[in-house]
Structure formats: C-alpha cells, structure tokens
Copies of this chain bind each other. A is one copy, B any other.
Amino acid sequence: MFEKFQTMFSDSEENYLKTIFHLERSLKDGVSTNAIADQMQTKASSVTDMLKKLSEKQLVNYIKYQGVTLTEKGKKTAAAIIRKHRIWEVFLVEKLDFNWDEVHDVAEQLEHIDSEKLIDQLDKLLNYPKFDPHGDPIPNKDGNFPLRDKQLLSNLKVGDIGVCVGVKDTSSDFLKYLDKHGIALGKQIEILEKEEFDKSQKIKIDNQILHVSQQIASNLFLKTKH
C-alpha cells in the first residue's frame, strides 16, 4: 500500500546499481563481477562484497560465480538515480551556464541528494526535459525511458541528412572537439562523401564543409529525416 521507496541506500550502493544498470543494457546478458570492477575502477573482491549486500536487499539477482542482474526494485532504484543525474545535468547547462563537458562530475555528486521535492521542482523549472545535455534519455518517475530513434553518423550513407541528437562518448575531450568544430545538439548535418578506406566522412554543417574521422562519426548520434 504505502510504498516508501526511497528507503535510502548509501552512495556506494547507488553507484553500483547505476553501473550494473548501464552494463546490463550494453552487455545484454548477465553482468560479470569483473565488468563491474573495471567500470568502477575498483577490485573484483570489493564487487563481490557489494553484490552480496545488494542481493540481501533484493536489489539484484546474484548467483555465485554467475554474475548479476537487477531485480525490478533494483531497476527502479537505478533509474531514479539516473533520472536525478540527468536532470541535474540539464539544470547545470540550462540555468548555471555550465558547458556540456563539465557537468558530469558535479552531477555524480548531486545524484545522491535525497529529496523528492527537490527533483520534482527542478524537473518543473526545466520544463520536464526528456533528454540530458548529451542527448541521453531522462527516465520518468516510473523509471521508463523516452525512446528516440537515432543512428550513429558512421552508419549513415552519402546523401543522408540528420540532426545531432546525442553523443556516445561523453568525454570532455570529445565534447570540446565538437564545440571547436561547431557541432552541437540540434544542428543539421548532411553526409557528402564517405571514404571507404579509413571510414572518414565529408559532411556539411552550417553550410560549412567538415572532414570527420571514423572515431568522430562513430560517437555522434543523428536523427535522420523521414
């Protein structure tokens, strides 16, 4: 009846849940201890300890030596943290003039602040954003993520036209590269040529010609017209 959900987990527990959530999406099948350790820059033994704890709290399904999956409760909790992280990122960019390459570290801290009203009001102030500054979807309060069909620039063919809607690599270096060359979310891009040999492309953006390497093209999401 009275689902007092925000039973409060430690920052560390929340970070593990978030990491497992992301790994589950990208690695399809169950998430391994080592995968988590790598991602979190910690040791496998630490991960094992935490998995036991999360398992006891019904947040993950854990079988020794077999890796983990999130339970429904675990997914909801992870989504709530991701929601907070991304809403804060929008706030930092929209209201505090942060650049999109400098919001992540602060959001990593802010995502653990425990106040439902705070997030609700932020969400309202920002006019209920559906995507964060990197184009990543912001789950709603039920933990559902908005969908948007998007494709990597590297997967488009000559003649295609699309609008930038997200980045795969969110590193500061990559984002600054995009800034430097005038590539930003919302901008239209047309694929003019593709070089088969090194997969580099010639594209048109703001009526300028720009050459981008495979590395760039495979980290930029576009939404194509049609």
Measuring CB to CB, which residues of chain A are less than 8 angstroms from any residue of chain B? 92, 95-98, 102, 105-106, 109-110, 113-115, 117-118, 121-122, 125
Closest CB of chain B to A9's CB: distance in Å? 14
Given B96, B102, B113, B125, which contacts A110 in the complex, CB threshold below 8 Å?
B113
Given B106, B113, B125, which contacts A118 in the complex, CB threshold below 8 Å?
B106
Report B-chain residues with C-beta under 8 Å of the C-beta of A98: 117, 121
Interface centre among A105, A110, A122 (most CB of B within 10 A): A110
Report B-chain residues with C-beta under 8 Å of the C-beta of A117: 96, 98, 102, 106
Interface centre among A95, A106, A115 (most CB of B within 10 A): A115
Indicate if the CB atoms of B96 and A125 lie closer than 8 Å. Answer: yes
- Total identical chains: 2
Report B-chain residues with C-beta under 8 Å of the C-beta of A115: 105-106, 109
User: Given the complex of chains A and B, what is the CA–CA distance between A117 and B115 in angstroms?
Assistant: 22
Report B-chain residues with C-beta under 8 Å of the C-beta of A114: 109
Report B-chain residues with C-beta under 8 Å of the C-beta of A121: 96-98
Report B-chain residues with C-beta under 8 Å of the C-beta of A118: 92, 96, 106
Closest CB of chain B to A104's CB: distance in Å? 11
Report B-chain residues with C-beta under 8 Å of the C-beta of A110: 113
Closest CB of chain B to A60's CB: distance in Å? 26
Interface centre among A97, A118, A121 (most CB of B within 10 A): A118
Closest CB of chain B to A31's CB: distance in Å? 29
A95-B125, A105-B115 known, 14 other contacts, Cβ within 8 Å: A92-B118, A96-B117, A96-B121, A96-B125, A97-B121, A98-B121, A102-B117, A106-B113, A106-B115, A106-B117, A106-B118, A109-B114, A109-B115, A113-B113
* Known contacts A102-B117, A117-B102; A122 and B96 CB within 8 A of each other: yes
Mind listing 21 A-B residue pairs with CB under 8 Å? A92-B118, A95-B125, A96-B117, A96-B118, A96-B121, A96-B122, A96-B125, A97-B121, A98-B117, A98-B121, A102-B117, A105-B115, A106-B113, A106-B115, A106-B117, A106-B118, A109-B113, A109-B114, A109-B115, A110-B113, A113-B113
